[in-house]
Each structure stands twice: as C-alpha cells, then as structure tokens.
Amino acid sequence: MNLPMDVLLVVGVIALYLQDSAMLLHYDEVVLTRDASRWHATAGGTLEFRGRRLFVPDAWRPTRAAFRTSWLQARNERPRTQLGHFIGGLAAVRRGCRWLWALLLVGLPVLLWVFPHPLALLALTVLVYATTAWLGWRVWRFRRVLELQPREALSMGFELLCCPPHAINLVRRLSLRRGLDGDAIVAVQRWLNDDEARQARECMRGQLAYAMDFHGEQASLVQARQRLEETQ
C-alpha cells in the first residue's frame, strides 16, 4: 500500500524524534530523569535487543532532563559545574525545544491535513529553522554553564540545523552528555525520595543477580553488591 507523501512526512518526523530519544541500556545502566521538582529512575522496559533494554523517554515531555549512569562503574569525570547550576542552565533552551515540538508534531500535521496552503507551509518551515537556529545560538551563548567547549557548541549547533526533529531532544542530549557524579547507587541515594530509591535499588539488585548468574563472582559485581547492601 502506497501512503500519501504528507503521511510519510509526518511519520518520518515522529520517527526521527523518537529514534533520537530512545536508548538501549546495558544491564548495569540506570537513567535518572528530572521533571519540575522530582527525580525518577528507570532501568528500561521489558523489550530487549542484543542484551540491552529499550528505554524511550516520555515523548510528551521533551524538556525533561535525563542522566545516564551505571552502578557497575563510574565514568572518568572532568571538572565541571554543580549539578544545580547545570540544570538551571538548561532553562536557556527549554522554551525553544517546546516550540519546536509544537511546530513539528502539532503544527505540521495540522497544516498538511487541514490547511495545506504553500505559503502556510513555507511560513512553518521558516519558523522551524528559525527556532532551531535560536537554539543553536543559545547553546553557544550558554556553553560554559552547559559545560561545552567552543568547538563542541558549534558542532552541536550544526547538528541541530541538519535535523530539526533531533533538536527537540536538546535538553536530553545535553543532560545525557553530562551525566551524574559518582555511580548509579550514589545518585539514587542522593536524588530520589525514599520510596523511589528503594524501588530503584530493588531493580538494580535484580539486574545484579542476573549478571552474576552469567559472569559469576567477578570482583566488580561483588563490589557493586556490597555497595548496594550498604545502602539498605
């Protein structure tokens, strides 16, 4: 069955947005997300691909920051700003991401299926690229608080202009790039409330038991188990 071009265009935009936001998590990885005032944790869904769990963030909330971390080992960290300062800096691009989400995922289908006038579509295209360019400018202007080197900020701005649907995920891109201090066990204990921290630890224990069934008493797994037991 041949689908109309307008349907293919909308499906393509949505697919690019979801593809860019989706993650395949290793057994030792946890994603911490933050909304207005609360933190949440997930180790992915039940769907697996080559031993990794698929996690697709909330498509209706493109400006929710996401931090990927591991309970098995911490990344080599470089000097950077405090987390609260960084999260505050994300506000510089949140509004543009919301505008872009509305233009591409709401405005585009409405114009194509309700009012497909060429001038209206041209105006939408101009607005999309103007918003994307504004986001690139904000990334450059706030590169220090967003912990980007000048070359990294320019490269990110160019990538956004090349694919505006990916630019919707700018907040997630920046927060995933930064990550959190320490490993997932420390992050869960520090940022989640008691109930959610307990659920996250139970999930990590399940993943740890799964890993030890395959790899045995490896030193890194034993150390992770000890750290989890200390947080009970």
- pLDDT tens digits for range 98-131: 999 999 999 999 999 988 889 999 999 999 999 9
Closest CA to 36 of 171, 153, 150: 171
Q: Are 192 and 41 in contact (CB under 8 A)?
A: yes
Question: How many residues are listed for the chain in this entry?
Answer: 232
Model confidence, pTM: 0.88
Condensed to tens digits (0 to 9), the pLDDT of residues 175-185 reads: 999 988 778 88
Condensed to tens digits (0 to 9), the pLDDT of residues 31-60 reads: 999 887 789 998 887 787 777 889 999 999
* Measured distance CA(151)–CA(48) in Å, rounded: 36
Closest CA to 51 of 182, 215, 186: 215
Residues 6+ apart with CB under 8 A from 138: 92, 93, 96
Task: Judge whether residue 211 has pLDDT over 90.
Answer: no
CA distances, 159 to each of 38, 45, 103, 140, 167 (Å): 30, 29, 19, 13, 8
What percent of the chain has pLDDT above 70?
A: 95
